A and B are shown apart, each in its own frame.
Chain A
């Protein structure tokens, strides 16, 4: 949704990373999905770079 339209709509949020940020949003009554985020390719830099190249193809 365009940003200026977002300013006139209820926020619907997808959160990835620090859990307490998503918890604070839930406490504020916001509709939020907290992604169970894990580093891609177990954090292996070579594999990540390879994956990115494949995705950008």
Chain B
């Protein structure tokens, strides 16, 4: 039966509502639950999920719709108590001081504000960002679903006033040591990053931190900035600022391959910046001639190592993933291979970070003749017709829209990934499951709590069928992140997971295991 509860004229952000939805979904007797604002798009989702009712159809975009399918009437009491507890708890945590209702009202209380962090739903985001820019604020725009025209308008408005609009769809930033959105807590230092890639910035910053150096600023631009219509407006503003920034001694530039014309423009600017630069256009080859100050990196681990070497004025060490895998790791890989049956040959990568997934795909594409991806990455990698069902060696970015419609991102909620892990482990041809575990601000507060019981289940089921599935992971995080890198790593290792210090190494090791060749 369907249980519906509408809370009129009350707005809660999508993360808050998804948290309630997760709590409700885990209750006994609940088949499925969705909590969303009553927008047209959300109503379509609820209709598709068979959670629609007349009350929901009549709800307005400013009403919260709580839609739950329960087994029978007897479970309604616990559902309604959970809803009450959730909102009571939220209200008791809220400030007693009245919060301003708009950015301009907030400016009255903080006239020297210099940055707006905007994460309202996409349809309202451009308008709020425009107001912030016109009030003289730089903008970190996390919201997605902003039109290309609006993105261009916002970035031109920012450029005109010597401001920056990071985003739309900007997941990560570190400005003056402050982590914005999904970002890790890292040492401050002298390496500056410009990136059109959220988890790309996260992986590079944590690897630099792990090598004992730090970040001056990491400036996200949003994924479309290096596309022709936007013309790299934010990337060029960020570059100019890092060029003039005294703290920044080395510059890193990371993104998916830009449009050719934009690539030339960016490389030209980088060549004139007067500082050593490392460029990573993931999956793309360097041009025939590179300016002298630019080093072309192979992957994110290579970026971090180069940046640190250049900062220390040392010669750039030759890089190969293979050389980075130490003796103990090699022996553990060998042990894993020995535990596998003959017919276990496939690798399944289940990712929460898009750039991490792409990096793994490009590494594994050099090891296997055929790799399947859940999304289009080009470079001859085959795209799965149905991303919900793996074939051969498959790598899936579970943060893609098709997996997150009406659900929290897999960096926050492991539900979808866990259920996919269990399914993949049941496939008799699967040798190894490859994972990224992204910690830091914004991400799940304690991934090990969720992953360990799942791994135990896989191990238990393996014992019964006399089959072992290898699990390989990298944890993208630091020792000073709220979730703590060491705690997460140790817990996973105790359950037999092979944990590597970088995504590149984890992908390579998983490839060796599936290939049964060390």
Contacts and interface: CB of A to CB of B under 8 A. Distances in A.
Interface of A: 1-22, 24-25, 28, 30-31, 33-40, 42-45, 48, 52
A13 B115 contact: yes
Given A13-B113, A28-B179, 18 more contacts: A3-B237, A4-B162, A5-B114, A6-B114, A6-B138, A8-B245, A11-B176, A14-B103, A14-B106, A14-B110, A14-B132, A21-B181, A35-B103, A35-B106, A38-B11, A40-B124, A42-B60, A43-B61
B101 A36 contact: yes
Interface in B53-69: 60-62
Given A2-B163, A21-B142, A13 B237 contact: no
A21 B119 contact: yes
Contact of A16 (B16, B95, B98, B116): B116
Contacts of A5: 114
Contact of B128 (A16, A21, A24, A33): A16
Interface string B290-318: 00000000000000000000000000000
Identify the 9 closest CB pairs spanning chains A and B, nearest first.
A43-B61, A17-B119, A36-B99, A42-B62, A2-B162, A1-B114, A18-B119, A17-B120, A3-B164
Contacts of B127: 40, 52
Contacts, number: 159
A11 to B, nearest CB: 5
Given A4-B241, A15-B117, A39 B178 contact: no
Interface of B: 9, 11, 13-16, 37-39, 60-62, 95, 98-103, 105-107, 109-110, 112-121, 123-124, 127-128, 132, 136-138, 142-143, 161-164, 175-176, 178-181, 217, 237-238, 240-241, 244-245, 441-442
Contacts of B112: 1, 12
Contacts of A34: 95, 99
A48 B276 CA distance: 48
A16 B162 contact: no
Contacts of A48: 124
